[in-house]
Every structure is written in structure tokens, then in C-alpha cells.
Chains A and B, each alone.
Chain A
Amino acid sequence: MTSVLYDVPGPRQRRLTLILSIVATFVVVAGAYYLIYLPLDEKGQFSMELWGPLVDPSNENFVLVWERIWVGIENTLIAAVLAIVASLIIGTLLSLLRLQLKSIAGNRYAGLSTPVAYLLRGLGSGLAVLTRVCVEVFRGLPVVITIFFVARGFPEFGVTLETLWYLVIGLTIYNGVVIAEILRSGMEGLPFGQREAAVAIGLSPFQTTTLILLPQSFRIMLPALISQLVVVLKDTSLGFIISYEETLNIGKQIIGVLSNPIQVYFVIAVLFILVNYSLSKLAQYVQKRLARGRKTANLPVPHNAVQTADLVDVDD
């Protein structure tokens, strides 16, 4: 798309672009030098005293610091993996439940006696409303607040766990709901013929969902799901509010001893960017593979699948 916005440059335009490029590079470099490098250098932020423990293997603290950071990375990954697995399971179950409830909403239970039929109908619609409210509430609450509520609320009711579990539960509540919505919109975006065909060959509503709709929804929504994993990984850094020892918290401990905040946060930022960038690249690759697969197999493309996939990776 980008290249469509301007013509393939001719000789004059190429010269102009070259000049502009040089000027722009110069401005950017000069800006970085005068506004960032010089003030930092003046404050001695580039001294080996501050950077040494992080980059110089011969420094006395180097091994110790990286051992601690490694502990932090491990804890981050443990929390992230647990939260991802749990939210995938919860999300799938929740989306199945909501779709089931929707499909029995019109059911009149004609064969049963009147009070039982009314009870069942009431139960069905009550559950539908309840799940809907849960989804709206937990999707609308900030994940920090959810984690905080879990960590403060559970002990109030006599449930004390390790901080890891508070973090995992908090992340799972939020991301489970988000994943459920992703899967549901994937299933509802499928062509209606899929469901009709399944019903026509005699599958029950539950079989229709689990055998026909859910697998396709997973496939279509895979890029969105992977982007959500990036979000989970980033959100584990919120563990610092409940003093879980993840990377950022370890970083704070190191800063407490060595007092080099800018350097430590820089290293942590680089670590996060590397991991998350490769994950988003993976999402892009998967998306491309899927698009290609779809073309050759000539599968139907639901009209809002692409659009939603675009959206979801900005939804934090």
C-alpha cells in the first residue's frame, strides 16, 4: 500500500529524496546527540561504573547481576506460560458455553411439564446474562486492577497463595475473557453454511461447535491469539505491584543495590523487545501462511475475520 501513495521516483525526485534523506538523517542524529547523548554523558550515565555490572564480564558484580536477571526471566516465563495455558483453556470453555447458551435460548422444551420447561428456560437465559455480564466486566476492568483485586481479595476470604498464583489468576481472568471473545467472533464470522451443513448431516449443536466451528475459528484467529500472547507476556511485568519476583522486580532490586536505574531498565527493555518482537514476527508469518493456505484451498473468508485480526493486536 505504501508504495501506491507516490510514483516510482524519476531522476529529479530521486535526487530530492536523497537530499531529504541526508538532511533527515543529519537532523535525527544531531537531535539524538544534543538532546539525549550530551545530557546523559554530562551526568556520567555512560560511565563503566554504572554499565560495568551489566556488560563487562570481568566486573565483580557481572555474574551475580545476570544470575538475578536470569531468575527474573525464568519467573516471568513461568507466569506467562501458566497464564497463557490457563487463559486458552478458560477462553475456549467460555466461548463454547456462550455459544451453547445462545443456541438453546429459543428452546421451548416442549416435551417436559410446564414448570420444568420454564425453569430450564429461566436457567438458560439467566446463565447467558451472567456470562455476558462477566465478559463485559472483566474485559472493561484494567488487568492491573484485576491482579490487584485478586491479590488483596483472596486473603480477605482466607485463601492465601504464593504471589505467582495471584498474578496467574489475575492474568487468566482478563485474558481468558479476551480470548473467549476472539474465538467467539471467529465462530460467528464463519459462513452460515458451515453450521447449516453440520446440522443437515445430523450433528448436535455441541458437536457442531466443537467439530466444525471451533477448529476453524482457531485457525482463522491464530494471528490474533498469538498477538494476545505478546500482551500476556508484557502484562507479566505487572507482577511488580504484588511483589512477584519477575524481571522488572529483580531489576528494581538490582537498582536498589547498584543505583543504575537507566542502565538496568535499558537492558530489561531490550530483553522484552527482543522476545516480543520475535513473537509478533511469528504472528505475521502465521498470518501470511494462513492467507496463502486459504487461497490454494479456496476456503471461504469471513468478512470480518481479517478486520478483527487487524484490530486485536492493538487491543491491550
Chain B
Amino acid sequence: MSVLVDKFDVFAGGFWLTFQICVLAAIGALILGAVVAVLRISPVPPLRAVGTAYVTIFRNMPLTVVMFFSAFALPALGSNADFLRIPVLDVVFTRLSTDLPYFRFALIALTLYTAAFVCEALRSGINAVPPGQAEAARSLGLTFGQNLRYVVLPQSWKASIVPLGSVIIAMIKNSALIGFFGVVGDLSASADQLTGAEGYAFIPVAIGISIGYLIMTVPLGALLDRIERRQAVAAR
């Protein structure tokens, strides 16, 4: 058990890095997902096709493949993802501006992949708004944009929150993949490092790593359950 104390900084550092990529990817995926969702419901057919294609592709592809793609295709496109070296943000999220680009590649892959699921969560929220609402808005003469902004989105938000939460939890869990993909020092990479190269006993390391993930996923899951139950009561 001494490894938990001796190597506490490794566990804490791993947790911090996993937390960082989760926060960044969540922000990115929420923004991108919202854009894709608007594309998917827009009145212009080609845009709708683009949105649908995006969701179909990324939802049916394993995240592993997306990650390898971003690692090999981005350099081939002549980009080291340097646009992610955002001046103020990289003071907090120091990995954004390191010379090894794997953190940025992993971040891009995680964002692209999660955005497809975010889009679907938002859309399921929009579908939950009774059609009469949108019809009433239309009969008042509201345009597509006004309809979304003033009538549909404010209501769909409530129905989207639980699906969005499950997407974010899934994303936190998916982020464990980055450790096996070249990002040094996140929770999963630390697990590999400590039990493999440094030869620590397996059980304590497994407990430490598990706690690191469970701290993030279990409370979020419990919160979502609560919200879901309250909404179910309110809907009755």
C-alpha cells in the first residue's frame, strides 16, 4: 500500500492531467456539437447532409481509430495542431503548448468524437419539445432562427441535460485511452508506468487509479440520477 503514499504525486499529477483534457474536450465538444446539431436541423439540405454525415462517421468509428487518424493525418495535412497553443489558456493547461503534439492530437480526437454524441443529445432534447410549441411559434410568424432561439432551445435545454451528462461521463471514461496513445503522465499512463516499468504491486496501484476515475464519474452520475428523478416527478 505504500505506493499510494510514496507516489502520491504521480497519482495526483495523473488525475490533474486527465481532468485537464476532460475540461478542454468537454468545452470543445459542447461548442462543436451545438454547431453540428444546428447544421442537422437547418432548412438548407447540403448543411443537413454535412451534419448527418459527421454524426454517422464519428458515432460509428472507434475512438481508437479517430485518435490514430488525428496522429497521422494531421501531420500529413501539415499541421502540428499549433492553433491550440492558445496564449492565456496554456498558462493553466500547460500541456497545450508542449513541443510533443500528442496531447493536442488526443484533445482534437476526443473533441471530434464526443461532438457527434453531443449533437445527438441536443437533438434528442429538441425532439422532446412538443411539436405544438414550434408550430405555435411559426404561426406567430417567427423565423427559423427566432423559433430556435426564443421557443425551442430554452425548452429543449432541460430535456438535453441528462443525455448531455451521460455523454460527458462517457467522454471522461474515453479519455483513459490517451495514456495508451502517447500522452505521458495521465492516470492510465501512470497505471501502465507504475505496474510495468517501475514494478510496483498491482493491487494498490489499481486502487489508486480507480479512485482517480471514480472521483470524476460517480458523483457526476449520481447528480444526473437526481436530476432525472426530479424531472420525472415534475413531468407527472
Contacts and interface: CB of A to CB of B under 8 A. Distances in A.
Interface string B181-209: 00000001001100110000011001001
A68 B85 CA distance: 40
Given A5-B41, A311-B163, A315-B166, A140 B218 contact: yes
Contacts of A191: none
Contacts of B131: 1, 4
B214 interface: yes
Tell me whether chain B's interface is mostly helix, strand or loop, or mixed: helix
B163 A310 contact: yes
B34 interface: no
Interface residues of A, number: 59
B46 A272 contact: no
Given A148-B188, A314-B117, A5 B65 contact: no
Interface in A257-293: 261-262, 265, 268-269, 272-273, 276-277, 280
A11 B197 CA distance: 70
The interface centre, meaning the residue of A4, A45, A142, A248 with most chain B CB atoms within 10 A of its CB, is A142
A7 B142 CA distance: 10
B57 interface: yes
A21 B134 CA distance: 24
Contact of B144 (A6, A140, A265, A276): A6
Contact of A21 (B40, B44, B77): B44
Interface string B216-236: 011001000000000010010
Given A142-B188, A314-B167, A28 B64 contact: no
Given A237-B64, A262-B72, A272-B65, A144 B166 contact: no
A261 B105 CA distance: 15
Contacts of A148: 180, 188, 191-192
A269 B43 contact: no
Interface in B13-58: 40-41, 43-47, 50, 56-57
A234 B43 contact: no
Interface residues of B, number: 70
A115 to B, nearest CB: 35
Nearest to B79: A39
The interface centre, meaning the residue of A43, A139, A145, A268 with most chain B CB atoms within 10 A of its CB, is A145
Contacts of B47: 24
Nearest to B77: A39
B73 interface: yes
A265 B65 contact: yes
B98 interface: no
A9 B121 contact: no
A24 B49 CA distance: 11
A162 interface: no
Given A148-B188, A238-B177, A277 B56 contact: yes
A277 B152 CA distance: 29
Contacts of B129: 1
A248 B188 contact: no
Nearest to A36: B77
B12 interface: no
Contacts of A2: 40-41
B155 interface: no
B10 to A, nearest CB: 16
Interface stretch (A91-99, A149-157, A202-210, A216-224): A149-157
Given A141-B173, A261-B68, A20 B44 contact: yes
The interface centre, meaning the residue of B127, B143, B202, B203 with most chain A CB atoms within 10 A of its CB, is B202
Contacts of A107: none
Interface string B62-88: 111100110011001110000000000
Nearest to B196: A152
Contacts of A235: 62
A269 B62 CA distance: 8
Interface of B: 40-41, 43-47, 50, 56-57, 59-65, 68-69, 72-73, 76-78, 117, 120-121, 124, 126-127, 129, 131, 134-135, 138, 143-144, 147-148, 152, 162-163, 166-167, 169-170, 172-177, 180, 188, 191-192, 195-196, 202-203, 206, 209-210, 213-214, 217-218, 221, 232, 235
List 9 tightest A-B contacts by C-beta distance, closest first: A142-B176, A276-B60, A316-B170, A140-B217, A142-B173, A237-B62, A261-B72, A234-B62, A273-B60
13 contacts: A5-B144, A6-B43, A20-B44, A28-B50, A39-B76, A139-B221, A142-B176, A152-B195, A265-B72, A269-B69, A272-B65, A314-B166, A316-B173
Given A1-B126, A144-B180, A315-B166, 10 more contacts: A1-B134, A5-B43, A5-B148, A24-B47, A45-B76, A142-B172, A142-B213, A145-B209, A276-B61, A311-B162
